[in-house]
Amino acid sequence: MSSLQQKRPLSPHLQIYKIQITSLLSILHRGTGILLFLGSIVWALWFVALAAGPESYGQLQALFLHPVGLLFLMGWAFSFFYHLCNGLRHLMWDLGYGYDMPTVRFTGWAVVGSSVVLTVMVGVIGFMLMGIWNEV
């Protein structure tokens, strides 16, 4: 065995592995899936508070209107839009389109960009409808 083969690692590790757009988006897809699950639990609690009466609903509404609550809602919206856009991307792959690497990279960044744009649009519209825009 030569000295070059002895020094080479047997498998890639974090010190030499360069993260790729495909692996980053895969990790992001899993993370946003977890956020969607947690958000659905919060959404169920919102329905319970709504059914419990105006006092409970008001308390939960105040929690959502707190900056941390708004950050959670925006993260939940981003998770939804990312899953939606990435699901459409996967649907195109299922149909046999977009397998070449330039298209994979382009559609990956398009998914992230469209998710951010849609989230910002929903945030601005939501702030305007709730009258928060003037307070921010």
CATH number at residue 102: 1.20.1300.10
Q: Read off the tokens for 26.
A: 């895969």
Q: For residues 76 and 84, what is the distance between their CA atoms, to the nearest angstrom?
A: 12
Tell me whether residue 75 is in a domain: yes
- Whether the CB-CB separation of 21 and 109 falls below 8 Å is answered with yes
In this predicted structure, the answer to whether residue 119 has a pLDDT above a threshold of 90 is yes
Tell me whether residue 111 is in a domain: yes
Tell me whether residue 81 is in a domain: yes
Of 116, 125, 63, the C-alpha closest to 85 is 116
What angle is formed at CA 117 by the lines to CA 115 and CA 121, rounded to 5 degrees?
115
Number of separate domains in the chain: 1
pLDDT digits (tens, 9 = 90+) for 69-114: 999 999 999 999 999 999 999 999 999 999 999 999 999 999 999 9
Tell me whether residue 115 is in a domain: yes
Q: For residues 12 and 49, what is the distance between their CA atoms, to the nearest angstrom?
A: 50
- Whether the CB-CB separation of 109 and 118 falls below 8 Å is answered with no
- State pTM to two decimals: 0.81
Range of the domain at 113: 21-130
Q: Give the chain's end-to-end CA distance (angstroms, integer).
A: 67
pLDDT digits (tens, 9 = 90+) for 20-77: 888 899 999 999 999 999 999 999 999 999 999 999 999 999 999 899 999 999 999 9
Q: What is the pLDDT of residue 19?
A: 81
